[in-house]
Amino acid sequence: MRRVNRSRCAVLVAALLVAPWTARAAPQPSAEASRPNLLLMYVDNVGYGDLGCYGNAEVKTPRIDQLAREGVRCTDFYVVASSCTPSRGALLTGRYPKRNGLTHQLATTENWTGIGLPHRERIIPQYLKEAGYATACFGKWNIGFAPGSRPTDRGFDEFLGFRSGNIDYFRHTYHGEYDLFQGTERRKLEGYSTDLFADAAADFLRRNAARPWFVYLAFNAAHFVSKINVAPGEEPQWQAPRESFLRYGWPADEPSPQRRYRAVLTALDDAVGRVLDTVDGLGLRERTLVMLLSDNGAFMLPGRGLEVASNAPLRDGGTTCYEGGVRVPAIFRWTGRIKPGTESRAMLSHLDVLPLCLAVSGAPPLAGRVLDGANPLAVLEGTGRSPHKRLAFAYAGTAGLREGPLKIVRNVPDGPWELYDLSADPGETRNLAATRAADAARLDAAFQAWLADVSRDASDPAPRPPRPKK
């Protein structure tokens, strides 16, 4: 197991990122800082039951648990596509994948040269940059890296991260290629990727403390390590720093996949805590809206060592439209606005993040652009109801729709719908389609109407690049 010196890692990142700004004076408070800062932490493949604040008594996530105590913990928060790429496209546009044109998972060279999200789509930093916000993306991109598609082409002032869906946590490689970039150029850095991205974010906050900022901190944790990323002669395994294992009293070469996964979650928790400490240390706590949510449920793929995570008490996981694939942990903190230690059972979605950012920043929406999300601030503050009558889900031939407590779901295109009453059966164990056929038919009609609506307004899907010849 590789060891990483976190202090040295932070110094290296700071030295790399701060160079263009060394001539600037120390930041001073300004009237512009009265608008809230926006910290959006998008964790990767973290399941509904993976965190202490969501009932997991085995994992150590004290800083995220503290964040939940300081804000509102959402119990019925959804992503509308249960895989990394379309989930991120939906988050950043506030539009369903079938509307924004990015419905499939980018893989291999498509991450590097593909357009990905169509260029006519507008994402959160493009709105906020025009409103005077400093903007930065650290971590996973995974929505296309062709010219015009890169983070710095799409509204981000700074980017340190990777193009693909996952990387080796220490080598920063994907499919045999080094995949860590600053801006549009590769940058060789040593260290644990979760720490690198957290340290880069903290450095950005310090340099931009005098103006409103938006940081999209898209951690690669706790994504599984793909077998395509390991070195010859090695087996894929969950990767964490030695100190994360020591928190449990385990050696760094602990063989248990489940224990290794917990160490990854704890390393993620430590990184989240360091970023929050930076916010607080700069005196920005009351002026910062913090959002932490997962891009999809944890993967549950027996036989690949991926059944070590938890979506409990929900069914199945990532790539499906069962609750374990689309219902995710989500926490919001805005000191002075969101009451600490609260819980929201309202049906909300990552589609709502963009409208929330626009509402609190004062950035205007794009005229004529249909948004599928809605501003959830009143819900988060405990004074409003869910803005959604229904939410639809679709990915790779699977589909679903929730209306109130009822949900339909199917596993193949045009297959039969299953029907569940989530108020009585959140684990989706009792299919009611046969006994409540009228409800199933009504929700099917709603799904077909939704599909027709998003198809009318859809961006043309970006062409996929040709697959390389073997």
Query: Tens of pLDDT along 38-68?
Result: 999 999 999 999 999 999 999 999 999 999 9
Rg of the chain on CA atoms, in Å: 21
Please give the average per-residue pLDDT across 206-216, as a whole number.
Answer: 98
Say if CB 352 and CB 40 are below 8 A apart: no
pTM: predicted TM-score of the whole model, two decimal places: 0.91
Q: Taking all residues of the chain, what is their mean pLDDT, rounded to a whole number?
A: 91
Q: What confidence tier does 267 reach under pLDDT thresholds 50, 70, 90?
A: very high
Helix and strand numbers, DSSP H then E, in the chain: 13, 18
Query: Tens of pLDDT along 114-167?
Result: 999 999 999 999 999 999 999 999 999 999 999 999 999 999 999 999 999 999
Least confident of 59-63, 212-216, 222-226: 222-226
Per-residue model confidence (pLDDT) at position 21: 33
The domain spans of the chain are 6-14+32-387
pLDDT at 469 over 70: no
Q: What confidence tier does 468 reach under pLDDT thresholds 50, 70, 90?
A: very low
Beta bridge partners of 401: 392, 408
| CATH code for the structural domain at 6-14+32-387 | 3.40.720.10
pLDDT at 470 over 50: no
Listed in sequence order, the residues at least 6 apart from 356 whose beta carbon sits closer than 8 Å to its beta carbon are: 289, 291, 373, 375, 376, 377
Please give the average per-residue pLDDT across 358-370, as a whole number.
Answer: 93
Q: Rounded distance, CA 432 to CA 306, Å?
A: 30
Q: What confidence tier does 17 reach under pLDDT thresholds 50, 70, 90?
A: low
Say if CB 182 and CB 159 are below 8 A apart: yes
Per-residue model confidence (pLDDT) at position 441: 98
Buried b (16+ CB within 10 A) or exposed e, 183-221: eeeeeebebbbbbbbbbbbbbbbebbbbbbbbbbbbbbb
